[in-house]
Amino acid sequence: MRMIVDTDAGVDDVQAIMMALNHADTEIAAITCVTGNTHVDWVTRNVFAMLDVVGAGPIPVFRGAEQPLLPGTWTGEARVHGEDGLGNYTKRQPTARQLQDEPAALALVRMANEAPGELTLVTLGPLTNVALACRLDPEFPHKIARFVFMGGAELAMGNTNNLSAEFNVYCDPEAAAVVLDAFPEAEMLSWEATVRHPFTWEQYETLAAGTSRAAEFFRDTTGSAVQFLREQLHAPGFYIPDPLAMAAALEPSLVEESSFHYVAVETRGALTRGQTVVDHFGASGRSPNVHIIKAIDIATIYAMFEQMLS
């Protein structure tokens, strides 16, 4: 599988990309960066830091949108990801890696044209870059083989100040609306699916106690997220939204249950801007466009983490 990863890295984003790097049958053709958890300039640095830690080969990295399509709601997510987007990571080393000159949206369009029907697109952040690609080339979505995204809330149980909206969609609701409208089919890993599939705290501690460079990086970058999850959310375990979406992309057989619905994005609601609105009962008469992942094999995903961090 050849994959493009679009990311706002992000603590769980870098874990997800490490999973893809560690997957035998997957090649990352490009990483495109977008503002979300933190500003895109931190995102590119975070991606480079992770690639250096795991000793990845030369992967083209593109800088993308530095703000949502419409200004207004983006504030970053420093509570979870730290000011730098990587848990206030203090062990950064100088990197020899360089950004590509091409803007991310142009690169998405070009790569889809070079290999129509071949690329899997996995998005781990706001959908700004992908929306721009859809507007640049209306055929872009039809040239992508599979589109898997972390985002949305299937039952309106969000994780932002707009209570029914999930973070990635809330950051750029117009972009999410454009993308869901443009892609014939997508696979969605929602916030509620994230909450249903945590690692236990014991599992987190085991992973964080590893001695490899990757395990040390995992430990060094997850402190702020763990503090937020334990002290603010009182979460039952360690949430891994982006790795769950990546797992579904890498190994479709890990998805144990999904259902296919029409999904659109609310862009105007006074209380609900950024909510994903799901036609659960087919009432709209609109054709389904999103496979909503309900259950995924978390035991196997934990085993993938153990192997990745060993």
> Which positions are annotated as active-site residues?
234
Site for Ca ion in 223-252 (CB under 5 A): 242
Residue 147 touching ligand BDR (CB under 6 A): no
Judged by CB under 5 A, does residue 85 bind Ca ion? Answer: no
| Shortest Cβ 169–Ca ion spacing (Å) | 12
Question: Nearest Cα to 135, choosing from 175, 103, 85?
Answer: 175
Residues 190-229 vs Ca ion: string with x where CB under 5 A? ----------------------------------------
Q: Would you count residue 154 as binding ligand BDR (CB under 6 A)?
A: no
User: By CB under 5 A, is residue 18 in contact with Ca ion?
Assistant: no
247 binds ligand BDR (CB under 6 A): no
* Minimum distance of Ca ion from residue 13's CB (angstroms): 4
User: Minimum distance from CB of 37 to ligand BDR (Å)?
Assistant: 5
Burial class of residue 195, CB neighbours in 10 A (0-12, 13-18, 19+): middle
Among ligand BDR, Ca ion, none, what does residue 159 contact (CB within 5–8 Å per kind)?
Answer: ligand BDR
Query: Binding Ca ion by CB under 5 A: which of 124, 247, 249, 290?
Result: 124
Distance CA 295, CA 130 (A): 26
Cβ proximity to Ca ion: between 13 and 84 the closer is: 13
Residue for token digits 């144990």? 256
Phi–psi pair at 283, nearest 5 degrees: -70, -25
Asked if 245 contacts 16 with a C-beta cutoff of 8 angstroms, the reply is: yes
Cβ atoms within 10 Å, residue 98: 11
Residue 274 binds: one of Ca ion, ligand BDR, none (C-beta under 5 to 8 A by kind): none
- Of 26 and 168, the one with the shorter C-beta distance to ligand BDR is 168
Burial (0-12, 13-18, 19+ Cβ within 10 Å), 232: exposed
Cβ atoms of 227 and 261 within 8 Å: the answer is no
For position 80 contacting ligand BDR by CB under 6 A, the verdict is: yes
137 vs 180, beta carbon nearer Ca ion: 180
Q: Residue 33 contacts by C-beta under 8 Å, 6 or more apart in sequence?
A: 6, 7, 8, 9, 40, 43, 44, 47, 61, 62, 63, 64, 104
Minimal distance in Å, beta carbon 250 to ligand BDR? 16
Question: Could you say whether residue 37 binds ligand BDR (CB under 6 A)?
Answer: yes
Residue carrying structure tokens 């961090």: 309
Q: Applying CB under 6 A, does 10 fall inside the site for ligand BDR?
A: yes
Distances from the Cα of 253 to the Cαs of 154, 250, 308, in angstroms? 21, 9, 19
Point out which span in 13-21, 216-224, 254-262, 289-297 binds Ca ion (CB under 5 A). Answer: 13-21
Binding site residues, Ca ion, CB under 5 A: 8, 10, 13, 124-125, 242
Binding site residues, ligand BDR, CB under 6 A: 10, 12-13, 37, 77, 80, 124-125, 150, 159, 166-168, 191, 241-242
